[in-house]
A and B are shown apart, each in its own frame.
Chain A
Amino acid sequence: GAVVSQHPSRVICKSGTSVKIECRSLDFQATTMFWYRQFPKQSLMLMATSNEGSKATYEQGVEKDKFLINHASLTLSTLTVTSAHPEDSSFYICSARDLGTFVYEQYFGPGTRLTVT
């Protein structure tokens, strides 16, 4: 149980284009999903908290107009990197919390490696 998928696993795009990343909880429902970014040899940094049916909450320093988050259902959240630049190249990982449990564990998707050329 508690499986989270992400698509695509790897994407290369040109500077100025937009990229959409999907995060799905496969066998549980999640009102809240989280989006992280990880640069090489650094830890995961929370970018935003995605809430089903409402606006995402962004961490300080994360541009909400650049990183668009949509959480349309209890099993799907999407992150769109708009007008991507080479400095946006990173490992983007989503996580979800299982509504059906009373614990606070988050389960991570396999990540999306974005390279902007």
Chain B
Amino acid sequence: RKEVEQDPGPFNVPEGATVAFNCTYSNSASQSFFWYRQDCRKEPKLLMSVYSSGNEDGRFTAQLNRASQYISLLIRDSKLSDSATYLCVADQTGKLIFGQGTTLQVKP
């Protein structure tokens, strides 16, 4: 079993849609979590940090459920520019464990 698991997708949604990604982690010792965005052939860029139960930044909301060991990312009013791969990441005492990523394609 992978330490951080994500549905690879792809998720194909129309502009303006709301889309949610889920991610599960296996190591209960993980303390911090992140969502990174990675565009094709580029480096990951930090989208959101999740230290407690959740975080919200504009159209993006992340939630953490430690009891169930899952993290979610909700994107509201999706834009064409949101098309990318979204990486769920768990921090284990400084070491980042990446999920394989979920691909989002927003269509006009």
Query: Which of A's residues lie within 8 Å of B, judged by CB?
Result: 32, 34, 42-46, 49, 91, 93, 95, 97, 103-111, 113
Contact A106/B43 with A43-B87, A43-B101 known, Cβ cut-off 8 Å: no
Q: Are B42 and A46 in contact (CB under 8 A)?
A: no
Contacts of A34 in B (CB 8 A): 95-96
A44-B96, A104-B91, A109-B43 given; 13 more Cβ-contact pairs under 8 Å = A34-B95, A43-B100, A43-B101, A44-B98, A45-B98, A49-B94, A49-B95, A93-B43, A93-B44, A103-B49, A104-B94, A105-B46, A108-B45
**Interchain Cβ contacts within 8 Å, total number:** 45
For the complex, would chain A's binding face be called helix, strand, loop or mixed by DSSP majority? strand
- Name the residue among B32, B96, B101 with the largest chain A CB count within 10 angstroms: B96
Contacts of A43 in B (CB 8 A): 87, 98-101
Identify B42's interface contact among A95, A97, A103, A110, CB under 8 A.
A110
Smallest Cβ-Cβ distance to A110: which chain B residue: B43
8 A Cβ contacts from B50-80 to A: 51
Q: Are A104 and B101 in contact (CB under 8 A)?
A: no
Contact A111/B42 with A43-B87, A43-B101, A105-B49 known, Cβ cut-off 8 Å: yes
Contact A91/B46 with A104-B32, A104-B91, A105-B34 known, Cβ cut-off 8 Å: no
Q: Are B46 and A44 in contact (CB under 8 A)?
A: no
CA distance A108 to B87 in the complex (A): 13
6 cross-chain pairs, A with B, having the tightest CB-CB distances, nearest first: A108-B43, A43-B100, A43-B98, A44-B98, A111-B43, A104-B32
Q: Are A42 and B41 in contact (CB under 8 A)?
A: no
Contacts of B45 in A (CB 8 A): 108
CA distance A43 to B43 in the complex (A): 11
Whole-angstrom distance from the CB of A58 to the nearest CB of chain B?
Answer: 12
Identify A42's interface contact among B32, B97, B100, CB under 8 A.
B100
